[in-house]
Structure 1
């Protein structure tokens, strides 16, 4: 059994999140996606500080999936395995545009051993509940074009392409 819970804005929880979920997520992307190479010595202290700043925001949320039954025990003290996470941030629309605010999914990760068992849907439900609480009518996200598994999941739940994000090295132009 797995349960989801909100990542609290405390240093110990943010550190555990960075070490056990954020870094493995980016290592998985590094192996599967072109142009997602990490530096050799990833500065986790900077990620912890960055995450804490986000978690202090009124518009940012992160949820983690924890192996086992729900408990009130602090996330940093749990001996249970963390097996996935999702983050989301409010993307407010400037009043000059005729579109609603969106809740933008940032990072979305499920450990390989847990893929295909519904955990991604459970994490997405956390985002949907938050969007409904805020009265935000749309979700958005960016996904790497060569991340076929993620693309398949997002299309399956109803996401549709909206824009193409393109890059080019300056010296190539």
Structure 2
């Protein structure tokens, strides 16, 4: 298994969205109450957004590639590579008026079913932690859907603690 940084080229981003991002969100849609996806060509809608984020300094996405091909580490791999999972992170700088460190926020982490239980999720979290250390972030943070009990247990086992709750309400009900 090789962890590769996803580059912003159109073909690599399209492959990522089609093979990992969309299946990840389809799985969440099935188990998380408030995670319905829109109708339409989601790949075509998501690719430009992902490509733009990949062009920023603070964002990184790494792919777990099984049976790595000949492409370089910035491409996302050859068309026939098996994409096993990914982690996406963003640097969240702390305003100077607060006394806390900058954070590296794990926006998404996903491991495809055949690779679960292999330690790949740990490897992806470690890659995020390496990035946090490299950019001087003192914290690793993430959000978890309250309905996703399996993932909550995974994070708690790795030392993550709940420090804040995000609550929401439909505007019509407020």
TM-score exceeds 0.5: yes
Which residue of the partner structure matches residue 80 of structure 1?
81
CA shift digits 1:98-142 (9 cap, x unpaired): 111000000111112211110001111111111111111100000
Partners of 1:57 and 1:69 in 2: CA distance: 26
Which residue of the partner structure matches residue 56 of structure 1?
55
Task: List gaps (5 residues or longer) in structure 2.
Answer: none
CA shift digits 1:24-82 (9 cap, x unpaired): 00000000111101123243222111111111111100001111257445435341211
Which residue of the partner structure matches residue 36 of structure 1?
35
Which residue of the partner structure matches residue 68 of structure 1?
67
Number of residues of Structure 1 aligned to a counterpart in Structure 2: 172
Is the CA contact 1:102–1:139 (under 8 Å) kept in the aligned structure 2?
Answer: yes
Question: What TM-score does the superposition give when structure 2 sets the normalisation length?
Answer: 0.93
Partners of 1:13 and 1:48 in 2: CA distance: 10
Is the CA contact 1:12–1:76 (under 8 Å) kept in the aligned structure 2?
Answer: no
Partners of 1:72 and 1:48 in 2: CA distance: 20
Which residue of the partner structure matches residue 114 of structure 2?
113
SS in 2 for 1:77: coil
SS in 1 for 2:39: coil
Which residue of the partner structure matches residue 146 of structure 2?
145
